[in-house]
Amino acid sequence: MLPPRPPRPTPLPSSRPFHFLVVVSVLCFAAILTPAPAAVAAAASGDADGGGGEGGVIRIRTAAVARSAMDTKPFISAKDALKKEPISDVIALKDSMKYFDAEFFNDSKLREMEDGAKEFNVPAFRENRKLVATENGGLHNPSVLLFKSSWSSGSMTSETRSFEYPRASSVHRPTNDEDIAFMSVIELGELIRTKQITSRELTDIFLRRLKRYNPVLEAVITYTEDLAYKQAKEADDLLAQGKYLGPLHGIPYGLKDIIAVPHYKTTWGSRTFKNQVLDSEAYVYRRLKSAGAVLVAKLVTGSLAYDDIWFGGRTRNPWNIEEFSTGSSAGPAASTSAETAGSIAYPAARCGVTALRPTFGTVARTDVMSISESLDKLGPFCRSAVDCAVVLDTIRGTDAGDPSSREVALGDPFHVDITKLTVGYLDDAEMEVVDVLSSKGVKLVPFKLNYTVESVQSILNITMDTDMLAHFDNWQREGHDDDYEAQDQWPVELRRARLIPAVDYIQAQRARGKLIREIKDSFTVDAFVGNVTDWERVCLGNLVGMPVVVVPTGLKSIENPPKGGTKRRTTVTTGIYAPPDHDHIALALAMAYQSVTDHNKQRPPIDDLGPNDVIQR
Ligand SMILES: *[C@@H]1O[C@H](CO)[C@@H](O)[C@H](O)[C@H]1NC(C)=O
Ligand SMILES: *[C@@H]1O[C@H](CO)[C@@H](O)[C@H](O)[C@H]1NC(C)=O
Ligand SMILES: *[C@@H]1O[C@H](CO)[C@@H](O)[C@H](O)[C@H]1NC(C)=O
Ligand SMILES: *[C@@H]1O[C@H](CO)[C@@H](O)[C@H](O)[C@H]1NC(C)=O
């Protein structure tokens, strides 16, 4: 659920290349498949150019994206070195670890923890204390973490599904599979409903594509082929009996591999858990199953939902295969994913997919790996905002297994009168979106969020890291963090989290409450348009739990293209944000934009990069 944190504006000389705090988990709809699936789909076109076919192993030239930031250690003066020389601090810290009941760190880890605590923890504690703890007593700055004593609401599982979907009229089956693979869910649903294609045929098409592109994209961890054909047959049989379950009936999709599905591995992308089988059905999987959708694959998540490095490799961007997809929802850029701090926003933006990070609590997370109980959210990655709305309608709901889930009273995104809306645009909004919405009768005004809490990023760090450590306490105690795929990521952060006192965790939750009140007071519009990958905003959006739709808005040339040109591109994206519980507003605006533009319909150039830029075979 965490994307790599973004390339920071370099305030702090830390050694993070880019590591986003956004945790996104992805469910991957084949049709909904955006980045990776899109790439997969594109690649699946099966015409085996150059005799490639199945046998041709696609090798990728050395990735140009170097993770170099890691080894740019700040210059240490002789004086500093001397200060560091006596290991008395380390000895003192080692000694005090007995009061944390955590005497298992060796000296080098203790030194790193000490440095990290000084650099990140302590300044953040001080800042948050200034914000909320200068007065003693009272409830004036309540923590955002709520305790509910009621026993009565816990056992409900809701089954709401109420949007009125548009009907795709007169859809005809394209002659080539490639075109089928890029159709929207609504269109594919119509092909199935009118029996122009069977679910089995669709499943074949998407599985072939996944297998063709996966050697390059590394987006799939496990194919769920047997299950897929079984579910496809059920969908086809039901239809033969005249029962049609709705637009997801018979539609192939993928799930981020933090989501449990019985009988198949749920690896969390991690070497430690790569053989783990969880015999439970995640709530979102149950919902998709009952809507007739067909699970074809468990998609890549970065190890323990962080960034794009997993135990089998590193997921690539179909628009530019020399680049990685970023974000923990690396594989699902065409599916259902999750975000704690950027895991939906970053990969969707990088891969040019339309995605929704819903209001916190909208989708129950039962049987999904947890990073942070107050930050994790599940949402769809699709080819369009319409498709995201369809998937959201299917997966939303409460479940006893997730006490934070609630019945969010969303309006129907297909019945929003956008001409009654006032929408703000930030300095960094994509102006094409602003112009298009304006031409559709939306009132657009310049806008700024006004808040005084400056410790947004560190509140996110404290919250996410402490919560994650609580869930992976034993993993750290047993030293499994030494096997972690990217040593500069979770291992360092979670060791540093050992030194966050409970009282400062709570102060962070109180400061977060203040931030939320300020955002609420300054949210004077119905929605706003703005950059969706800015790290501060990713932190803010996740701490507040506000929904955002990630909207592709175009493509630009890559930096340093090969001589003679290339078809590789960098995607451009913007975000449409709405207040919590108003996901339908953001979706309606994104749909309006996509109804007259085609940026979300572009296909990645994965089979043909241009005459002078080939994937070496
Ligand atoms: C501490 O443990 C790490 C990981 O096992 C190892 O790489 C490092 O060398 C150890 N440091 C010391 C001082 O033993
Ligand atoms: C911003 O918020 C502060 C504190 O909440 C308030 O005093 C100030 O007037 C606000 N500024 C604007 C431009 O709304
Ligand atoms: C949050 O943690 C990340 C990862 O360790 C680090 O790069 C970043 O600088 C931290 N930010 C703050 C404000 O503490
Ligand atoms: C959004 O913000 C990020 C981080 O500041 C920046 O790298 C990116 O170019 C911005 N995107 C757009 C579309 O302005």
Taking the C-alpha atoms of 377, 227, 213 and 19 in order, what is their torsion angle to the nearest 10 degrees? 20
Among all bound ligands, the one having the nearest atom to the CA of 551 is: 4
107 lines ligand 1 (CB under 6 A): yes
Quick count: other Cβ atoms within 10 Å of Cβ 86? 9
Residue 473's pLDDT is 97
Q: Which domains are present in the chain?
A: 17-84 (no CATH), 177-601 (3.90.1300.10)
> Are 209 and 43 in contact, with CB atoms under 8 Å apart?
yes
pLDDT tens, 91-142? 999 999 999 999 999 999 999 999 999 999 999 999 999 999 998 887 789 9
Which atom in ligand 2 lies closest to the alpha carbon of residue 521?
Answer: 5
CA of residue 450 to ligand 2 center, whole Å: 6
Which atom in ligand 4 lies closest to the alpha carbon of residue 572?
Answer: 13
> Are 559 and 568 in contact, with CB atoms under 8 Å apart?
no
- Determine the Cα–Cα distance for residues 209 and 343; give it in Å rounded to an integer: 24
Which residue has its alpha carbon closest to ligand 2 atom 13?
450
Which atom in ligand 2 lies closest to the alpha carbon of residue 448?
Answer: 13
Which DSSP state fits 402?
A: B
- Pocket (CB within 6 angstroms of ligand 2): 450, 452, 518
- Identity (one letter) of the amino acid at 118? K
> Are 278 and 285 in contact, with CB atoms under 8 Å apart?
no
- Pocket (CB within 6 angstroms of ligand 4): 6, 428, 430, 531, 533-534, 572
| pLDDT band of 602, cuts 50, 70, 90 | confident
pLDDT tens, 264-290? 999 999 999 999 999 999 999 999 999
φ, ψ at 397 (rounded to 5°): 145, 165
**18, 70, 120, 121: which to mutate for ligand 3, most atoms within 8 A of CB?**
120
> Are 29 and 185 in contact, with CB atoms under 8 Å apart?
yes
Which residue has its alpha carbon closest to ligand 3 atom 12?
458
Among all bound ligands, the one having the nearest atom to the CA of 6 is: 4
Which atom in ligand 2 lies closest to the alpha carbon of residue 522?
Answer: 14
- Top-confidence residue, 433 or 409: 433
The answer on pLDDT for 313 being more than 60 is yes
**107, 108, 478: which to mutate for ligand 1, most atoms within 8 A of CB?**
108
| pLDDT band of 48, cuts 50, 70, 90 | very low
- Determine the Cα–Cα distance for residues 75 and 63; give it in Å rounded to an integer: 28
- Determine the Cα–Cα distance for residues 253 and 570; give it in Å rounded to an integer: 25
Q: Which of 76-90, 160-174, 308-322 has the highest mean pLDDT?
A: 160-174
Which parts of 467-557 are beta strand (E)?
Answer: 527-530, 548-557
Residues designated catalytic:
256, 328, 343
pLDDT tens, 172-227? 999 999 899 889 999 999 999 999 999 999 999 999 988 988 888 888 999 999 99
Closest CA to 404 of 357, 465, 360, 341: 360
φ, ψ at 578 (rounded to 5°): -135, 165
CA of residue 329 to ligand 3 center, whole Å: 20
The distance from CA 154 to its chain's CA centroid, rounded to whole angstroms, is 27
Which atom in ligand 3 lies closest to the alpha carbon of residue 120?
Answer: 14
Residue 55's pLDDT is 28
- Determine the Cα–Cα distance for residues 147 and 77; give it in Å rounded to an integer: 49
Among all bound ligands, the one having the nearest atom to the CA of 451 is: 2
CA of residue 164 to ligand 4 center, whole Å: 35
Return the biggest CA–CA distance within the chain.
81
